[in-house]
Structure 1
Amino acid sequence: MFRRATVISLALLLFVSLAATAGTTGKIAGRVTDSDGEPLIGATVMITGTAYGAMTDSNGEYFIINLQPGTYDLMSRMVGMGEQTKEGASVIADMTTRMDFVLNPEAVGSTVITVTDQRGMILRGVTSSVSVVTRDEIRTMPVAGIADVVNQQAGAVDRGGLHMRGGRGGEVSYVVDGVTQTDPNGNVSDQSLPLSAVAETSVISGGFGAEYGNAQSGIINVITREGGNRYSGSIGMNGNDFATLGIAEDWTWGYPGTWWAGPRFDGLDNNGDPDPLEPQQEFAGDKPADFAEARLTGEIALGGPEPITQYLLPAMGLDIGADVRFFGTVKWLQYGGGTDGNYGYLLNTGSEQLNGNLKLTIKPNPKTKINLSGFYRNTDSNLYGGWAYARFEDSYIDPLTGDTLPGTEFRYGLPHRNVENYSIGFSLTQTLSDASFLEFKVNQYSTSDERRIDDPDGGVLGEGYSVFDWLNYTPTRTQDSQGFYRSGANRAAWYDASSATSTVRLDVTSQVNQQHQLKFGLEGKYYDVYEHRVDTASGGNIYMSDWHSFPHAVSAYMQDKMEYRGMIVNAGLRFDYFDPNYNDYPADLTDPVNPGTSAGDDDHIRNPVSVSSKYHLSPRLGFSHPITERDVLHFTYGHYFQVPDFGRMFDGANFDLSGAFPIVGNPDLEPEETIAYEFGVKHMFNDITMLDITGYYKDITGLVDMQKNYFTAVDAYDLYINGDYGNVRGAEFNLMRRPSNFISFSGNYTYAIAKGKSSSATQNYSYAWAGWVIPKRESFLDWDQRHMVNANFDFRIPRNEGPAWGGTRYLQGLGLSVQWNYGSGFPYNSSGQATADPEINGERLPFTMNTTAKLNKMFWMGDTSLNVYVWVLNVFNRANIGGLVDAAWYDADQDGNGEPDHDPRGSMGNPNAYERRRRIRFGIDFEW
């Protein structure tokens, strides 16, 4: 009790003086001198077209803070001296852009300098490992969304989720306009924001500052666009649903190639057993077609002055006296689907998605800005996980009666899924002085996930069922000898989950002087999280979870960014407090429930107690030391704290011990923690080429694991505990060449070793269920990829450039962007091992390699442009293994040549073992 009171008192004390937010603004700083290098005192530096500006001090230095990411023009002037204008200064969130001016006597006149990508090859004020991708860069990349942008960065591995520098999935925080948008029930992020809404994306893979919390492995920081002072917008569409247009067959995505020439399996009778008298068969999804992904994407964006307050009301004599602008986007995405249930990349899978973003910016005066923003996404999935049900619609023989029965529609066997996400927010930015400003934010991010199976008698399976009804539900599922379901519903009979995260935050930034920028912050979060799940497993076992929890959290930080010409230091301290707010936990885990009661009864838990709140202090320190004009050393050290996935904390925490292998959540889980170090050097070969080499080490403790607890001599349940650990070490090489002679290049190579006791919180549970002895030593993690290369090549001829024939530049606007990705093989468990001491992930799959290309041509008419492009994914049609259907089949020597066949598809040739083959999309974008 004393500990909890102390923590609450400390949190309240910090509330008075601190604030917390993710960085959304940047800074311009520099020096104004005369032609002899002497400082000019009292010179002004203004951002043209705005009220932002500053005056130089006694050393001729100035700074301008609280700038949105983007490109600005600056002008410096002084009485008796001429003017100098610099056009195209780029501002990046959380970073300092240096712009120096040299003024000549007034008689010499004014000068205008156009800055070309003035960010510089080396961002000297950056101490963390960060990659910044601007809107202009995203527009030329062959990517469909933010996730594709992130996956091109060093250290990012997409293997059943995003793993950054060897961490588990769910350890990366997704931040939009300074607010975290991550579902705490699973720690998953929605990265479907339309790209036309994005102004800038930053990926921080190491050394992130104290302002960022509840993340162990990385930060994805997205800043959305605001409306300008004139109307602008875009309309775009791309896809390859040529079957709908009548110019291609209604085929699903296929796997052409010589190895795919034969049929998939021998002929089968109606019971699914091999029958040599029946013709050989293949699944419709195996037919080759580059133009049959059936995917369409449409996107519309519009922004500018808000018409009602800026035009309509003033015309009526009602002027609100404020500058109001808006920017909004709508995106529609469709893939798979069709009418036959077999029209999509994964068998029986189709999906439609609608999402949009709207931001309203109100400026009552030059010192005040208000943003009202909202985001919405709805994803409707037709079916999922359909391979085991691929023959569900075929007739079959009832194994009990011998009768021939007709097949059933897929919707009676597989769930229909609907996912909704929305965010609504308010932010106030108030300039306190030329050197200080505050930001106040209120936001709610909500998610819902519903999965239902249609009932042939109408409605959905389980509609209106009570807990008692589910416990007495007897599922029936019929399988043939080949492993395909012929009747009955998927075991995921019912799923309902929702979460609402309400956030209030305040932050204050003060540029105390030219060298010190102080940031203070506090953040409060209130969670409303719910889940109701029914798993109708085999053997009559029914596993249910039904919980509704209301945790809350408080965090605070203080940070000082010290910028000197020979050293930049980022020093910060973060405080995190988390209260699970759970008061029904058994005092004795070996005797958790009262006999004769059921989960949900008021007296079910024996001797219930409240679980304790948790708190943590996380120091963060970063250095950047310029050695020469072309070389910089950088170093970071930090502690990173993260609350476990709420599903591990509350799912099953009501101690429903029905079923043969019950899993129980643990609201008393401690936070997971990572201590990370990194050291690197940046070298600039010339004005356009730079190499960054960084080595890192991560020590990870307190990861969620599982432990078997016996409550009788023979009955047990599995409880989530903080029992796992791991470590990661690696090196990253980043090479960048800025555009020159129409060509630019960026690439990275990562060498990494990721080891740990388990690859997931449920690995021990799965091994125990299979009869394996739980390993105690570390092994390679499932996403351990020793070598990884990402290369990006871009050839682009800007407007009014390139060769001319007869006075016309026909090649202007021509562009080619190519991405090449290589990854060494992921580990897997070899088959046929003894259960007493198995070697975990002791074998390796083959390497993967993929090439994506986008060829485009732009046409201009004044301020409007038309962009036509062709986009090819997996250009060389490689058959990359994505995972093993059956490890024993993969290791087997089926053809008798003495070597394993290494066929990942299993005995039935499941095509889902391979990553997607070549896809060709065509698109068009119109922008004004």
Structure 2
Amino acid sequence: MKQSCVSAFARAARSLALAAVVLGFGAGSLLAQGSTGKIEGRVRDQAGAPIANAQVFLVGTAFNALTNPQGYYFINNVPAGTISVRAAFIGYKSTQVDGVKVLAGQTGTVDIQLEQTAVQIQEITVVTQTQPLVPRDEVTTKQRIDGEFTSNLPVDRLNNVLALQPGVVSSPTNNTLSIRGGRTDEAVTYVDGVPISPGYRGGNNVGSLGTELSVATNALEEASVTTGSASAEFGNAQSGVISVQTKTGGSSYTGSFGYESDEPFGKNISLGFNRLQGSFGGPITRNLTFFLSGALEGQKSIASGIDAQLSPIFVQAGIDTTVAVPTALGDPTADTTMVPVYNYAAYRGDCDEFSGSADPGIADNYGVDCQGGRTPYSARSTYQLNGKLNYTFGTGSRISLTALASQFQGRAFSQNRDQTGRVLTYQNLYNPQALIAFRQWSRVFTLNWTQNLTKSTERALALETFLSYQQDRTLQGPMTTEGEASTRDPFGGFLVGPIDFLFDFGNFDLNDELVNNYRQNLAGTRRSPLDLENRVQYATTDVYRNNAYGLYNRGSAGADMQFYDNGIGSPLGTRLVMYRENRLVGKANLDWQFDRYNRFKFGGEITRYDLGNYSHQLDDQIFSDVFLEKPLRYNLFAEDRLDLGDVVLVAGLRYDWYHTRASRPVGFPVITTHPDFDPNNPDAFFNNPDLFREDESHNYISPHIQVSFPVTERTNFRLSYAHQVQAPDFGVVLQGINSDVNLTNTNNVYGADVDFGKSITFEFGLRHAFNDDMVLDFAAYNKDNLSNAANRLVSLPDPTTGVNGNIRLLTNADFGNTRGIDVRLDRRFGNLFNGTLSYSFQDAQNTGSDPDTYIDFGSRVLNAISGGNQPPPQASLPTDFNRPHTLAAAASLTFPNDWNQGSTVGTIFENVGLFATFRYSSGTPFTACSLGSTDQDVVSGDNCDREFPEGLNQSRLPAFKNLNLRLTKGFALGGLDLTAYLDARNILNFRNVIQVFTQTNDVRNLDEEENEFAANATEVQDEAIVSGVDVSEDGTIDLTFGDIADPRAGCSTWTTEDGVPAAPNCVALIRAEQRFGDGDGMYTVAEQRRASDALYNTIRGVHNFTGDPRRMRLGVEVSF
């Protein structure tokens, strides 16, 4: 029945829709990746005859429709989730279908049969629908993740589940994902229909790694990842689209609260992990619902690999003694300083290792409890919050408001020297003013209004609009004294309130004044929180052997590590990083179902960015970056979806446009050192387009086509083809726009006004349903990556010298190709078992894995012919994330409370659940270095000094293996449901190697180990000789000082190798001998070796070369 009238509200909405399209404001309602789906079907009587004008509605909402003469009905724009569909007609008994799963972007079929009755009765027939394993109208490869299924799996993040999908490759920690060979930042994420991916994606060479909103698993209704060719409705992604739909409150109240912890399993397994989560939702008034959820995690220690407890880390535990240190020995007029020498207690490690020490303090570990495998002062914490209001009215119009927030903050603790020369946190453990913390937080507020403008039994016109305000922030830098002390060992590992930073957005404002000071290099102005004109006062010092090993480790090979005791500046390179991004996203589209088979959409999206980035060494301007810019991006699309039931054809066009709206130096990156720059009239330079020019805008039109049709009754074939473009990372494009190369370094990397990154994708797929409970899906694809962002060495005329100079400049020069196949098997057995098994093969090659590949690796290799820098690659090579083979599975086995009731087996297994995830994948590639002493310390992922004997990424790490299990048991607790569970990660304790030495292809390098000890032993023995202490031919050092009662009393004449008084060094060596030796005062070479190896292994121990060992947790959840 066609509507006879349209309300004034609808007429106003229609006018607004037309205006939105004309102005190009708004964005497409992403049917393929949006937050809503479609329900259609037929209403028939018991004889199979259609019933016309029957009313069909969704229980608890305003969504409704009437059937046409053929009994057909449809309802568009239904929020994703599980619903109940009811049909009614005069003279028939109403029928309600429960358990209908609405999938975002898909069409679900719900056919309803009504029973005729002579008398109108209120009784309702209730039936439950079994959902198909895959939707019938899938036209491209898209992997779906059910929220309820995910919440039961042994996972903490959505990324953990995405990594199990075919076509998705994960890092060992699941922190980054690559979709079908794309770079790790080439996917876009949508939450409830709007994109939330930041414009600054973390590729900046010296800045923040970026941040993005995180959604807790208990807020997840459904998620999907499109790995195939995308439709025209969505974009700004070269590789894939991740879509998340959060939960909406239902017609009844539901809620849950849970807690889990790993602390019951001992400190060698436990990280001090604790998790609290809860949710509550339901109706407020008629057609108005709410949903709230939150999750809070705390972790007292960062994760380390296997056997971290075998590599102790020591913390200061009070003062051992205070010694007098004169400026010169034997000079009665020399000044004397009283220097404290500290006790060192093992924090990470096994206290029994030193319990036999001759020194009672060392034997007792100075009263400090050893923490097993936990790393000190490394707590970190996260939270995710979600709230949603949803109101439906009319014939299915709705308004929803969603608020999302997430935070990740903690103490930075770098313990792996994965890059030569990296300063490790252990080096500043006794210099707390230089210890670093980080905080990343995001907020998203989204208003969605969907208005049905007209609706009949076969036609509909709807307007869908979104307005979203989004914030991302990153802060990294030193803490205040109070902030550092309060975060050392927080209760439960929880850090909810902001960490107290020494410098933050409040006391060091990121504003135009700061940018201008930096760009013009104005002496005496605020460019850094510290005084750049008096930098020496901040220098970091390391004067004595102030550590538990009695070692200097100055200038020795690879794993050398000085322990700093004061200062925050050079040579640490301590950096303050501040990043903020505000986005205003507007979307609107018209959704026109102009007949039963055709659904046409057109609309657009506009995003206004407000970016601020500050990354600056506290005491030096070199390799710093500061900018404030406001890029603009929008897109328009038009798409038609022809759905004939079995045959589905989708065709569309998309127009993308972006403009940084930034200005930068023309040519060679010089500003204040340019000959034409006048410090008395700087505007003359900045307003001259021949010297300082605004970037240009960029645009691209891309075709998209997808088709699906049956081959047999149970087999469908699909094809898809698309051009997919993505605006470049604004952090990379804007990098260095205010940095004068003559005030930093020619190794500084500079952004440029580059074009979109482009991919051309093609795939075909087959889906075969063996039956309703078993479906096999196969896809083969080819993706050409064009014009990827790439930093290159570019020769440009230098106006300050008159000759050409090499600049590391951003281009679109990288290119590559990925080919592969994805196979997925879905299988279920009634309500007992549900699982997926997938296999992926991919060959991902590119001239660069990220914008810095060439300048970090290739440009540092000498060309054998020219003797200069090696030119950029002319052919693609394996990417860093190329894993040729991946086998993954996720499964659940659940026994309901009435299973085999009355039997012993039934009594044992009722309400028991077993949930598992498994992943086996090829190791990632790395570049081997030539044999020789210069590359002894290079590990996979770092660059060789000069030569690559076999080319980039020609070696490969061992395969990665992981099996996680969760065992649950349900109980009734009054009117509540209680579930207890055991969660086991890497339950088989697989030894996953994630890093190797590039010369040995192993987790050990005996040559480096020997070189390190030789340097340490020589240094200690030479110092002892200079200090007049006996050193035997075998290297034993006599620290007895004539067998005096307290050998520390003999340290007054001790000096360094160059004759500088250093009594604290002597005390440190005495304690090292008592800790790593037998305490007899004779410091043998074997004891020296144990001390040297102990320090060496904190950096080069197997825990830094392997992934997480077995971890266990216990948990409990109460729900209603």
User: If the length of structure 2 is used for normalisation, what is the TM-score?
Assistant: 0.70
Shift of 1:237: 1.1
Aligned partners of 2:220 and 2:628: how far apart in 1? 35
Shift of 1:532: 0.9
The equivalent residue for 2:692 is: 608
The equivalent residue for 1:180 is: 195
Shift of 1:703: 0.5
1:304 to 267, 282, 294: 282
The equivalent residue for 1:446 is: 471
| In the alignment, structure 1 residue 431 sits paired with structure 2 residue 452 | yes
| In the alignment, structure 1 residue 890 sits paired with structure 2 residue 901 | no
The equivalent residue for 1:350 is: 379
Q: Is the 8 A contact 1:885 1:910 kept in 2?
A: no
The equivalent residue for 2:746 is: 661
Query: Kindly tell me: are residues 195 and 889 of structure 1, through their superposed partners in 2, closer, same or farther at Cα, counting changes over 3 Å?
Result: closer
The equivalent residue for 1:130 is: 142
Shift of 1:366: 6.0
Q: Is the 8 A contact 2:752 2:810 kept in 1?
A: no
Q: Which amino acid aligns with 2:982?
A: V
Q: Is the 8 A contact 1:745 1:792 kept in 2?
A: yes
The equivalent residue for 1:417 is: 438
Which has the larger displacement, 224-233 or 449-458? 449-458
Shift of 1:219: 1.3
Q: Is the 8 A contact 2:413 2:425 kept in 1?
A: no
SS of the equivalent of 2:137 reads: coil
1:143 to 151, 155, 158: 155
Counterparts of 1:474-493 in structure 2, within 5 Å, are 476=540, 480=554, 481=556, 482-487=559-564, 489=568, 490-493=572-575
1:879 to 991, 1012, 1035: 991
Shift of 1:346: 6.4
| In the alignment, structure 1 residue 96 sits paired with structure 2 residue 125 | no
Shift of 1:547: 0.4
1:465-493: CA deviations, max 9, x gaps? Answer: 73384487465476633322422654242
Q: Which amino acid aligns with 1:384?
A: F
Q: Is the 8 A contact 2:994 2:1107 kept in 1?
A: yes
The equivalent residue for 1:844 is: 956
Q: Which amino acid aligns with 2:602?
A: F
Shift of 1:826: 1.4
SS of the equivalent of 1:149 reads: helix
Query: Kindly tell me: are residues 198 and 12 of structure 1, through their superposed partners in 2, closer, same or farther at Cα, counting changes over 3 Å?
Result: closer
Q: Which amino acid aligns with 1:848?
A: F
Aligned partners of 1:815 and 1:12: how far apart in 2? 50
Aligned partners of 1:598 and 1:354: how far apart in 2? 50
Shift of 1:768: 5.3
The equivalent residue for 2:782 is: 697
The equivalent residue for 1:627 is: 711
Q: Which amino acid aligns with 1:424?
A: F
Q: Is the 8 A contact 2:63 2:396 kept in 1?
A: no
Which has the larger displacement, 444-453 or 738-747? 738-747
Query: Kindly tell me: are residues 456 and 51 of structure 1, through their superposed partners in 2, closer, same or farther at Cα, counting changes over 3 Å?
Result: closer
Write 1 or 2 for the structure with the bigger share of strand: 1
SS of the equivalent of 1:93 reads: coil
Query: Kindly tell me: are residues 747 and 593 of structure 1, through their superposed partners in 2, closer, same or farther at Cα, counting changes over 3 Å?
Result: farther
Query: Kindly tell me: are residues 862 and 519 of structure 1, through their superposed partners in 2, closer, same or farther at Cα, counting changes over 3 Å?
Result: farther
Query: Kindly tell me: are residues 588 and 383 of structure 1, through their superposed partners in 2, closer, same or farther at Cα, counting changes over 3 Å?
Result: closer
Query: Kindly tell me: are residues 231 and 124 of structure 1, through their superposed partners in 2, closer, same or farther at Cα, counting changes over 3 Å?
Result: closer
Query: Kindly tell me: are residues 182 and 16 of structure 1, through their superposed partners in 2, closer, same or farther at Cα, counting changes over 3 Å?
Result: closer
Aligned partners of 2:692 and 2:804: how far apart in 1? 24
Aligned partners of 1:886 and 1:536: how far apart in 2? 33
Shift of 1:349: 2.7
Rg: which structure is higher?
Answer: 2
Aligned partners of 1:86 and 1:867: how far apart in 2? 28
Which has the larger displacement, 201-210 or 381-390? 381-390
The equivalent residue for 2:651 is: 571
| In the alignment, structure 1 residue 917 sits paired with structure 2 residue 1109 | yes
Q: Is the 8 A contact 1:208 1:218 kept in 2?
A: yes
Q: Which amino acid aligns with 2:437?
A: H
The equivalent residue for 1:15 is: 23
Unaligned stretches of 5+ residues in structure 1? 1-9, 252-288, 311-321, 395-406, 897-903
Query: Kindly tell me: are residues 456 and 176 of structure 1, through their superposed partners in 2, closer, same or farther at Cα, counting changes over 3 Å?
Result: closer
SS of the equivalent of 1:182 reads: coil
Aligned partners of 1:533 and 1:452: how far apart in 2? 10
Q: Is the 8 A contact 2:211 2:440 kept in 1?
A: no
Aligned partners of 1:907 and 1:51: how far apart in 2? 62
Shift of 1:444: 1.2
The equivalent residue for 2:550 is: none
Aligned partners of 1:807 and 1:124: how far apart in 2? 39
Aligned partners of 2:601 and 2:87: how far apart in 1? 28
Counterparts of 1:465-864 in structure 2, within 5 Å, are 466-467=526-527, 469-470=531-532, 473=535, 476=540, 480=554, 481=556, 482-487=559-564, 489=568, 490-535=572-617, 542-586=622-666, 594-595=674-675, 602=683, 607-657=691-741, 658-710=743-795, 711=798, 712=801, 713=803, 715-740=805-830, 742-767=832-857, 770-772=860-862, 773-774=870-871, 775-805=873-903, 809-832=907-930, 835=947, 839-861=951-973, 864=976
Q: Is the 8 A contact 1:145 1:191 kept in 2?
A: no
The equivalent residue for 2:176 is: 161
Aligned partners of 1:813 and 1:28: how far apart in 2? 33
Query: Kindly tell me: are residues 113 and 887 of structure 1, through their superposed partners in 2, closer, same or farther at Cα, counting changes over 3 Å?
Result: farther
SS of the equivalent of 2:181 reads: coil
Aligned partners of 2:721 and 2:152: how far apart in 1? 35
Aligned partners of 2:950 and 2:714: how far apart in 1? 51
Query: Kindly tell me: are residues 595 and 466 of structure 1, through their superposed partners in 2, closer, same or farther at Cα, counting changes over 3 Å?
Result: farther
SS of the equivalent of 2:563 reads: strand
Aligned partners of 1:391 and 1:189: how far apart in 2? 23
SS of the equivalent of 2:751 reads: coil
Write 1 or 2 for the structure with the bigger share of helix: 2
Q: Which amino acid aligns with 1:304?
A: G
Shift of 1:894: 4.2
Q: Which amino acid aligns with 2:1002?
A: Y
The equivalent residue for 2:290 is: 326
The equivalent residue for 1:204 is: 226
Counterparts of 1:49-128 in structure 2, within 5 Å, are 49-79=60-90, 83-103=94-114, 105-106=116-117, 112=125, 114-118=127-131, 120-128=132-140
Q: How many residues align?
A: 839
SS of the equivalent of 1:196 reads: helix
The equivalent residue for 1:294 is: 272
1:721-770: CA deviations, max 9, x gaps? Answer: 11101110000110010243622221100000000111111111112563
Aligned partners of 2:424 and 2:116: how far apart in 1? 85
Aligned partners of 2:243 and 2:477: how far apart in 1? 34
Aligned partners of 1:231 and 1:585: how far apart in 2? 60
Aligned partners of 1:878 and 1:33: how far apart in 2? 57
Query: Kindly tell me: are residues 873 and 588 of structure 1, through their superposed partners in 2, closer, same or farther at Cα, counting changes over 3 Å?
Result: closer
Determine which structure has greater relative contact order: mean sequence separation of CA pairs < 8 Å that are 6+ residues apart, divided by chain length. Answer: 2
Aligned partners of 2:966 and 2:576: how far apart in 1? 42
SS of the equivalent of 2:83 reads: strand
RMSD value over aligned CA atoms?
Answer: 3.5
Aligned partners of 2:150 and 2:157: how far apart in 1? 9
Aligned partners of 1:647 and 1:752: how far apart in 2? 29
